[in-house]
Amino acid sequence: MKARPSLSGVLLPVFSLSLLLAAGCDDSEPAVADAAVADSGAPVDSGSPVDSGSADGGVPAAPRVVAVSATGHDRFFGVTYDAAGNFYAVGVVSSSNVAATADFETVVAKFSAAGVLDTGFGTGGYARHNLAVGLGGEVARGIVVQPTGNIVVAATIEHAGATDPRDRDVALVRFNANGTRDTAFGTDGVVTLDLSAGEVVGTGYVADVAWDLSAYSDGRLVVTGAQKRTGGTDTDFAVVRLSADGVRDAAFGTNGVATVDINNRSANPRTATLLADGGIVMSGYMDDGGVVKPVLFKLTSAGVLDPSFGTAGVFAPTVLAAATEAYGAVLQGTSFVTAGYGRNSASESLDWLSLRVSPTGALDTTWGTAGVARLDLAMFNDNARALVALPDNRMLLVGGGRPTANNVDGMLAMLTATGQADTTFGARGIRTYDFGGASDFFWGVALNPARTQAAIVGARAVATPAADAGVSAENDDSVVFVLSL
């Protein structure tokens, strides 16, 4: 099945995670299936590797399935390290079961550098908090560790008291270093940002969404997301800057929020890169009249578009004729390298794509082939989710790839410093991993402080189409992987 782009600001109907990914509609918030079972509440670690045997030529390694809830859904979407080399995975866990009516809460897990769960953190290694009660709308992706050792998470949450249950807000929650909630942060540990009023658009709903969280060296926070455009039915890119304690920075944008509208098209927000000069480069994409274009824009430290970058501060060209998405952009020297996916026409499958954009916001045609590095596993839809730059300027990309039309495996790829497939990493620069599900994905990656290993997180979705008809229950589980570099 060919993928179609979706609007991050328009929340789609409830489906299982595996079906959303199989259909390619994977930019909406993950939802759950229909069958209900009791939740024992006991975390389970499979304790065993789930490597596919490196079907595409990589060496064996050991991603690990970790069930935060023994019978409910859990999925990791983001990861970060602390100064001591421990890493923290963030995601969601369903409150009690895998039913479509299950509520989700935010979860943070702490692991040692070797990937061992730190059971002294929170409760049995997990800090959990339900930021808002509602139908599957809580999705936590962004995580940082502040210089104080506090852990801050950014999430999309249900809008409390909304007339329409699809309405959403942005929230941050802060945990102490031991995994207890920091009640001095915001209100009882939570800062809620209601950036815009939600609105019905056709059969969907436009509302606020959060995607990523970054932190300055002094602990100040930057949230990337989207909000409904004032006077319109589409979404604008939104960047929110806060103090280390979660107070909006009045010197940034308007009351701490900088919004960017491009041609009145809905924004699909992704990550931010904080620059030494105080500027911010945000990545994402938009559907511009049927052509999906990558978006990078640069803000000054005051939260206004920097006219020295791209066109009036924005890089949003047509790269491939049908779709080019930028799921993230990281610094390689002074340039920005992206990870995402796209295709030239509806008759093509989606491939992993990486672009390099110059410091002035122009496509670098020396990268890959004519400015595009393109990776295809087996001529089916593949989706890259995130990337990091290694000390030697190679790029490690993570996501999912399809060895067959109806199965997704976790996938890694290594690009050389010039955007070519690094065949020393694996055949065609690729390694794949089967976690045992129908839709296995790596969603996030981070480098340790020494830049000698990468922590990679994701999820295994085990449902089949029959599960959503109530025939059998699915139970999505989280995945962690420590890759030595």
| 3 state SS for the chain | CCCCCCCCCECCCCCCHHHHHHHCCCCCCCCCCCCCCCCCCCCEEEEEECCCCCCCCCCCCCCEEEECCCCCCEEEEEEEECCCCCEEEEEEEECCCCCCCCCEEEEEEEECCCCCECCCCCECCEEEECCCCCCCCCEEEEEEECCCCCEEEEEEEECCCCCCCCCEEEEEEEECCCCCECCCCCECCEEEECCCCCEEECCEEECCEEEEEEECCCCCEEEEEEEECCCCCCEEEEEEEECCCCCECCCCCECCEEEECCCCCCEEEEEEEECCCCCEEEEEEEEECCEEEEEEEEECCCCCECCCCCECCEECCCCCCCEECCCEEEEECCEEEEEEEEECCCCCCCEEEEEEECCCCCECCCCCECCEEEECCCCCCCEEEEEEECCCCCEEEEEEEEEECCEEEEEEEEECCCCCECCCCCHHHEEEECCCCCEEEEEEEEECCCCCEEEEEEEEECCCHHHHHCCCCCCCEEEEEEEEC
Q: Domains (ranges, CATH) in the chain? A: 17-484 (2.120.10.10)
Full pLDDT tens readout for the chain, 485 residues: 333 333 333 333 333 444 334 334 444 333 322 222 223 333 444 433 343 333 333 333 679 999 899 888 999 999 999 999 999 999 999 966 787 778 999 999 999 999 999 999 999 999 999 999 887 789 999 999 999 999 999 999 999 989 999 999 999 999 999 999 999 999 999 999 999 999 999 888 999 999 999 999 999 999 999 999 998 999 999 999 999 999 999 999 999 999 999 999 999 999 999 999 999 999 999 999 999 999 999 999 999 999 999 999 999 999 999 999 999 999 999 999 999 999 999 999 999 999 999 999 999 999 999 999 999 999 999 999 999 999 999 999 999 999 999 999 999 999 999 999 999 999 999 999 999 888 999 999 999 999 999 999 999 987 544 444 443 457 899 999 999 99
